[in-house]
Amino acid sequence: ATLSPGLDVAALCENAREMVAHEAPLYEQLRPRSKDMFANRAPGFYDQVPQHWMRDWPMPFPFAVAGASGSTLTDIDGNTLVDFCLGDTGAMFGHAPRPIVEALSKSGTRGLTTMLPSGEVAEVGKLLTDRFGPFVFQIATTASDANRFAIRVARAVTGRNKILVFDGCYHGAVDETLVDLEDGQTVARKNLLGQVVDVTTTTVSIPFNDIDALKTALEAGDIAVVLAEPVMTNCGMILPDEGYLTALRDLTRAAGTLLHIDETHTISTGLGGYTAVHGLDPDIFVVGKPVGGGVPVAIWGMSQKVAKALSDIRAKMSGIGHSGIGTTLSGSTLQIACLRACLSEVMTAEAYATMNRHADRLEQGFTDAIRAAGLPWHVSRVGARLEIVFSADPVRNAAEARAAAIDDIQHALHIGVLNQGYLVTPFHNMVLVAPTTTDAQVEGLLSAYENVLTRLVTRKG
C-alpha cells in the first residue's frame, strides 16, 4: 500500500502533539469529579479501575459514566457525549434497548440462573438458525470463551493440534491467538503476561490476504482450524481482497482444516453478519458482544457435520466429567431471555438499515473532510463500522496497517473530537453507528472531524 505520498508526517505529528497539549487541560477542567475519583480515591481497585486497561484510553484519565441511553453518555461531572464507541460493539444497538430492559426485568421475577435450560430455549434456537444459518449453537458468556470452546472442539474432531490465525488478529483473551508475526516467524505477543506455555508450538500466524502463505501453512496437514475475522478489525480495518475468502474456504476444506469465523465485530455488516450478507460457509461461527443487546452473552455454532463428529467422540467417552467447555452462568435464564429479545426485537433489518444509512453518510463525509484538509488518506468500512486509515491505498495486512498507524495523530483526533462532545473507540478511532444514532449526531461528528483535521494541517508547520 502507498502510505502518505508527499506528506510531511513529522510536521503533522508535531501539530498533533501540540493539539493534545492544548486539549488535555480542557478535558481535565471539565471533569473534576472523575479526576478526583481516579487520583487514587478508588483504592479497592487495582489502578482504580475494574479492568486495568481502562486506563489505556488516550485521555489524561478515563471519565466515570453516570448513565448511558441510546447513543448518549453522561459522565459524573455532568458532561454529555454522543457515543460512537458503543462499548466497543457491546452496545452496538444503542445503550439499554427497551426490549432488553424488559427482558431483564422479566427475568428478575423468574430467577436469573438455574443451571437448567429455560422454557424459551426452543424459540431461541429457531431465532438463531433463522438469523445466522444452519448451525447448532451453544452459549457462552464472552466471545473469548466462545472462541476458546470452539477451538477445543475443532481440535477434538480433527485430531490435530495446531491452529492458524492472521497477523494482527484479536479474538479475545484466548492465549493461543495472542501471537504476532515478526520477520516471518510466529512469536508470542510482546505484552502477554504470565504465559508459560510456548504458544508458538501450536499456533501459526500468517499475513491476511496472502493465498500462497495460506497454501504453504495448510500443506503440512496439521492445522485443525483457521480462526478468522472476515474483515480484520483489530489492527486497523483490513478488508479481504476480492476472492480471498472464497480461497480461504476452498483451501481449508481441501486440507481437512475447519474454518472458524469470528463475527464479534463484523456483525456490524448487516443482518446475520458478514457470513450471511456475503454467503460465507464456515464450519464454526461465533458472535459475542452485542448479541445479547449489551448483556454478557456469546454464541458459538457448529455445522451439522462438526456437531455429528463431536457427538461421535463423546459417545465413546465414559461417564460424565469436565469437557473443558462451558461455564456455570452460561445459557442462563437471563441470557436466553436477552438473546430472544435481541434477536427478535433489537438486531433487526430495520435497525441495520438505519445504521448503514448513517454509515453511508459518514463514509462520504469523512472522505470529503480528508480531501478538504488535503490529506491523502482513505476511509475503511464494514457496514456500520468505519475508520480513517492514514494511507492512500487500502492496507492489505497487519504489517501495512502497522506502518500506516500514527499514534500521535490518532491521539489528537481522539481527544479533539471528544472535547467537542463525540466519543469514538480508543483503538484506531473506530466509529460505530447504532440504530439510535440521529442525523444530527452524524452531522455533528463530521463537523468535529472537519475541525480537528483542519487544525491538524494548519496549526503550525
The three-state secondary structure class of 134 is coil
Rounded to the nearest 10 degrees, the angle between the axes of helix 333-341 and helix 121-132 is 40
The distance of closest approach from Cβ of residue 453 to ligand PMP in the complex, given in angstroms and rounded to an integer, is: 27
Q: Name the residue nearer to ligand PMP (CB basis): 263 or 283.
A: 263
Return d(Cα 232, Cα 166) in angstroms, integer: 9
Ranges within 185-244 binding ligand PMP (CB under 6 A): 229, 234
In whole angstroms, what is the distance from residue 428 CA to residue 303 CA? Answer: 34
Do residues 48 and 41 touch, judged by C-beta distance below 8 A?
yes
Q: Which is nearer to ligand PMP, 381 or 455 (CB)?
A: 381
The 8-class DSSP code of residue 407 comes to H
Query: Which residues on neighbouring strands pair with residue 24, listed in sequence order?
Result: none
Contact flag: residue 385 with ligand PMP (CB under 6 A): no
Give 42: exposed, middle or buried? Use CB within 10 Å, 0-12, 13-18, 19+.
middle
Contact code string over 247-266 relative to ligand PMP, x by CB under 6 A: ---------------x-xx-
Q: Collapse the DSSP code of 93 into the 3-class scheme (helix H, G, I; strand E, B; otherwise coil) and give the result.
A: coil
Least CB distance to ligand PMP at residue 296 (A): 8
Nearer to ligand PMP, 133 or 172 (CB): 172
User: Is residue 419 a contact residue for ligand PMP (CB under 6 A)?
Assistant: no
Which residue from 118, 9, 78 is spatially nearest to 340, judged by alpha carbons? 118
> Contact between 142 and ligand PMP (CB under 6 A)?
yes
Q: Under the criterion CB under 6 A, does residue 289 sit at the interface with ligand PMP?
A: yes
Quick one: 61 or 170, whose CB is closer to ligand PMP? 170
Instruction: Compare residues 152 and 215 and give the one whose CB is closer to ligand PMP.
Output: 152
Contact between 269 and ligand PMP by CB under 6 A: the answer reads no
How many whole angstroms separate alpha carbon 282 and alpha carbon 197? 29
Using CB atoms, what's the residue nearest to ligand PMP?
A: 172
- Contact string (CB under 6 A) for ligand PMP, positions 168-187, x = contact: --xxx---------------
6 and 376 Cβ atoms separated by less than 8 Å: yes
Q: With respect to ligand PMP, which residue has the nearer C-beta, 88 or 450?
A: 88
Choices 28-36, 105-113, 142-150, 188-196; region in contact with ligand PMP by CB under 6 A: 142-150
387 belongs to the binding site for ligand PMP (CB under 6 A): no
Q: Do 228 and 201 meet the contact criterion of CB atoms below 8 Å apart?
A: no
Q: How far is the CB of 451 from ligand PMP (least distance, A)?
A: 29
* Residue 166 makes contact with ligand PMP by CB under 6 A: no
Q: Which is nearer to ligand PMP, 83 or 262 (CB)?
A: 262
Binding ligand PMP by CB under 6 A: which of 34, 48, 72, 144?
144
Say how far apart CA 175 and CA 192 lie, in whole Å. Answer: 9
From the list 374, 256, 429, 420, the residue with the least C-alpha distance to 8 is: 374
- In sequence order, the β-bridge partners of residue 228 are 261
Whose Cβ is closer to ligand PMP: residue 293's or residue 365's? 293
> Smallest distance from the beta carbon of 440 to ligand PMP, in angstroms?
29
* Least spacing, CB of residue 273 vs ligand PMP, in Å: 11
* Residue carrying the nine cell digits 504465559: 195
Instruction: Report the site for ligand PMP in 78-97 (rule: CB under 6 A).
Output: 88
CA 100 – CA 293 distance, rounded (Å)? 6
- Asked if 360 contacts 332 with a C-beta cutoff of 8 angstroms, the reply is no
Q: Which is nearer to ligand PMP, 171 or 378 (CB)?
A: 171
Q: What share of the chain is helix, strand, coil (3-state, %, to 5)?
A: 45, 15, 40
Contact indicator for 209, 397 with CB cutoff of 8 Å: yes
Pick the binder of ligand PMP from 62, 207, 273, 288 (CB under 6 A).
Answer: 288
Count residues binding ligand PMP (CB under 6 A): 14
Q: Which residue has the cell 452462568?
A: 329
First CA to last CA across the chain, in angstroms?
26
- Determine, following the binding rule CB under 6 A, whether residue 335 of this chain makes contact with ligand PMP: no
Three cell numbers written together for 308: 455429528
Q: How far apart are CA 55 and CA 192, in angstroms?
A: 17
Q: How far is the CB of 300 from ligand PMP (least distance, A)?
A: 11
143 binds ligand PMP (CB under 6 A): yes
Smallest distance, ligand PMP to C-beta of residue 233, A: 6
List of residues contacting ligand PMP (CB under 6 A): 88, 142-144, 170-172, 229, 234, 262, 264-265, 288-289
